[in-house]
């Protein structure tokens, strides 16, 4: 017997990147819409009356009117072991890593600790409407085991990797080139393709990997060409200076990853703020993705990511957006895009709300090459959904009184919204938002 449900509400799904606020061809919007969800997938989508008629008799119905139903948010860069690092007071990236982040990640050698944090991690994602995330685990295989076991339990589509790091960190956080290779292989064998789990090859960044370990990552990348590769690039000036000192033969930071065969269309580069034109060309030619993490970039004072400028280059750079928990300060993709907007304002650029909502859904799915499964409300996609209320607080309710258009409503959600605006989160058709008083 199939498990079928009808979910009714205002549907919004993007077809492609919006060119302007007036670009209504870039999305589909159904004011009284419905999704027919069958065995976790969208079996029909559109006008409520038509979908209702096509549904088998007796199909139960969940009515979310007047709320918006969108594809679940996607977060393309975050750190599972950094939940208890958020709000650590540091001058900049390297001080923050050495003083707080590395010591905290050492705790993930304990599988009980990793399992406990994994429960909280997925609760927070779902509380904030995020149904897919791309995450770094710690160097310990135990952390990857906890991360993927909990994703499997919840039926979520997740990307993650055991971090490879063999220098410039405390002893408890170091592997070796061989261990990094062997344990990544073990994680791939145990978890890749199990449920909706995807393993990413994850050399943390060039500072914490010796050339020998970069070669081990290269070997993994050529043995497993379908896997994502994630690392960090050009986040902070001091980081860039030290990195180039460690790899003097490379032309620049980006060239280090290119030399080890780590730059391709499955490569996700966290931050990538301070790129030269040569580096941006290299990313563009490789089809690698620059992942913008606005709350983190502001919190750590790392810099202003030229999102719009990179997108409109003659050789455009593929981009995605992310929270970067725990350098980032919010699990919410709404809060994230609010900060992304402000960064573009400071750069004299406009980021309109259609673009923001595109980026955190379809845009991030495209960046991952997963748009057939997530990021839209198209038939055949997994029913990973977020239901949004633009008036969950007195202040938002008051502002909603004067709002007339969909883009205005989206802009309010982005500017003032957070987890309180998330009415429900569905994973493969199952309602999963934890209760607000859940521990
Ligand atoms: N660069 C290397 N590791 C990290 C990390 O954990 N967070 C951030 N923001 N940058 C990094
Ligand atoms: Zn990061």
**What is the residue-wise DSSP string for 197-223?**
EEEEEEE--GGGS-HHHHHHHHHHHHH
Residue of 217, 212, 210 lying closest to 184 (CA atoms): 217
The structure tokens listed for 158 are 């997740």
For CA atoms 250, 251, 256, 258, give the dihedral sign: negative
Q: First CA to last CA across the chain, in angstroms?
A: 35
Look at residue 238 in the predicted model and tell me its pLDDT: 98
Instruction: Beginning with the edge strand found earlier in the chain, give each strand of the sheet holding 422-427 in spatial order.
Output: 41-47, 27-38, 4-14, 61-71, 385-388, 422-427, 430-431
Decide whether any atom of ligand 1 lies within 6 Å of the 235 Cβ: yes
User: Is pTM, for the whole model, over 0.85?
Assistant: yes
pLDDT surpasses 60 at 2:
yes
Q: Is 187 exposed, middle or buried (0-12, 13-18, 19+ CB in 10 A)?
A: buried
Look at residue 438 in the predicted model and tell me its pLDDT: 63
Q: Region 197-208: what's the mean pLDDT? A: 98
Which residues make Cβ contacts (< 8 Å) with residue 45, sequence separation at least 6?
11, 13, 30, 33, 34, 35, 36, 51, 377, 378, 379
* Residue 432 contacts residue 133 (beta carbons within 8 Å): no
Per-residue pLDDT tens digits for 273-311: 999 999 999 999 999 999 999 999 999 999 999 999 999
Decide whether any atom of ligand 1 lies within 6 Å of the 411 Cβ: no
Look at residue 180 in the predicted model and tell me its pLDDT: 98
Rounded Cα gap, residues 52 and 46, in angstroms: 10
Rounded Cα gap, residues 390 and 401, in angstroms: 11
* Residue 104 contacts residue 81 (beta carbons within 8 Å): yes
Look at residue 288 in the predicted model and tell me its pLDDT: 99
Site to probe by mutation for ligand 1, drawn from 83, 134, 161, 204 as the one with most ligand atoms within 8 Å of Cβ, is 204
Ligand 1 atom nearest residue 79's Cα: 6
Decide whether any atom of ligand 1 lies within 6 Å of the 77 Cβ: no
Per-residue pLDDT tens digits for 346-362: 999 999 999 999 999 99
Rounded Cα gap, residues 165 and 111, in angstroms: 19
Residues making up the chain, counted from first to last: 439
Rounded Cα gap, residues 239 and 278, in angstroms: 19
Ligand nearest to the CA of 81: 1
Site to probe by mutation for ligand 1, drawn from 96, 143, 327 as the one with most ligand atoms within 8 Å of Cβ, is 327
Q: Region 78-95: what's the mean pLDDT? A: 98
pLDDT mean across residues, the chain: 98
Residue the block writes with tokens 């521990």 = 439
Rounded Cα gap, residues 224 and 13, in angstroms: 32
Ligand 1 atom nearest residue 302's Cα: 9
Q: CB within 5 A of ion ligand 2: which residues?
A: 270, 324
Instruction: Tell me the pLDDT band of 439, cut-offs 50, 70 and 90.
Output: low
Q: Whose CA is nearest to atom 11 of ligand 1?
A: 232
Per-residue pLDDT tens digits for 146-182: 999 999 999 999 999 999 999 999 999 999 999 999 9
**How many Å lie between the centroid of ligand 1 and the Cα of residue 216?**
20
**How many Å lie between the centroid of ligand 1 and the Cα of residue 53?**
51
Per-residue pLDDT tens digits for 360-400: 999 999 999 999 999 999 999 999 999 999 999 999 999 99
pLDDT surpasses 60 at 1:
no
The phi, psi pair for 318, rounded to 5°, reads: -65, 140
Residue of 335, 382, 407, 352 lying closest to 71 (CA atoms): 382
* Residue 24 contacts residue 12 (beta carbons within 8 Å): no
Count H helices and E strands in the chain, helices first.
17, 16
Decide whether any atom of ligand 1 lies within 6 Å of the 141 Cβ: no
Per-residue pLDDT tens digits for 15-49: 999 999 999 999 999 999 999 999 999 999 999 99
Biggest CA–CA distance in the chain, Å, is 69
Per-residue pLDDT tens digits for 203-261: 999 999 999 999 999 999 999 999 999 999 999 999 999 999 999 999 999 999 999 99
Rounded Cα gap, residues 300 and 295, in angstroms: 9
């Amino acid at each position: 017997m199939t498990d079928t449900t009808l979910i009714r509400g205002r549907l919004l799904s993007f077809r492609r990147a919006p060119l302007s606020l007036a670009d209504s061809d870039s999305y589909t919007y159904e004011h009284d819409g419905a999704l027919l969800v069958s065995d976790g997938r969208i079996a029909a989508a559109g006008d409520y009356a038509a979908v209702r008629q096509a549904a088998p008799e007796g199909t139960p119905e969940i009515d979310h009117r007047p709320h918006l139903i969108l594809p679940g948010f996607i977060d393309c860069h975050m750190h599972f072991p950094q939940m208890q690092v958020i709000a650590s007071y540091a001058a900049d990236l390297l001080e923050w890593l050495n003083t707080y982040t590395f010591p905290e990640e050492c705790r993930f050698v304990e599988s009980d600790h990793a399992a406990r944090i994994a429960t909280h991690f997925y609760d927070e994602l779902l509380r904030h409407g995020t149904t897919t995330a791309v995450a770094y685990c710690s160097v310990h295989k135990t952390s990857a085991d906890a991360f993927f076991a909990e994703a499997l339990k919840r039926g979520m589509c997740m990307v993650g990797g055991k971090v490879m790091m063999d220098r410039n960190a405390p002893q408890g956080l170091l592997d070796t080139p061989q261990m990094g290779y062997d344990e990544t292989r073990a994680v791939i064998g145990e978890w890749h393709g199990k449920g909706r789990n995807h393993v990413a090859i994850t050399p943390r960044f060039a500072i914490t990997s010796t050339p020998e370990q970069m070669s081990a990552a290269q070997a993994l990348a050529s043995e497993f060409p379908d896997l994502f590769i994630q690392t960090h690039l050009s986040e902070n000036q001091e980081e860039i200076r030290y990195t180039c000192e460690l790899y003097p033969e490379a032309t620049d930071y980006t060239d280090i990853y290119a030399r080890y065969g780590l730059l391709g269309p499955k490569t996700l580069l966290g931050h990538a703020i301070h790129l030269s034109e040569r580096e941006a060309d290299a990313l563009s030619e490789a089809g690698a993705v620059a992942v913008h993490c606005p709350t983190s970039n502001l919190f750590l004072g790392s810099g202003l990511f030229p999102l719009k400028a990179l997108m409109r280059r003659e050789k455009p750079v593929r981009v995605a957006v992310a929270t970067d928990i725990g350098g980032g300060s919010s699990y919410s993709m709404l809060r994230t895009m609010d900060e992304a907007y402000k960064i573009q304002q400071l750069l004299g650029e406009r980021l309109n709300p259609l673009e923001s909502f595109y980026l955190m859904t379809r845009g991030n799915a495209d960046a991952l090459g997963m748009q057939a499964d997530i990021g839209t409300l198209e038939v055949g996609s997994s029913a990973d959904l977020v239901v949004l209320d633009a008036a969950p607080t007195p202040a938002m309710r008051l502002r909603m009184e004067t709002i007339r258009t969909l883009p205005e409503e989206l802009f309010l959600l982005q500017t003032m919204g957070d987890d309180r605006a998330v009415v429900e989160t569905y994973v493969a058709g199952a309602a999963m938002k934890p209760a607000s008083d859940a521990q």
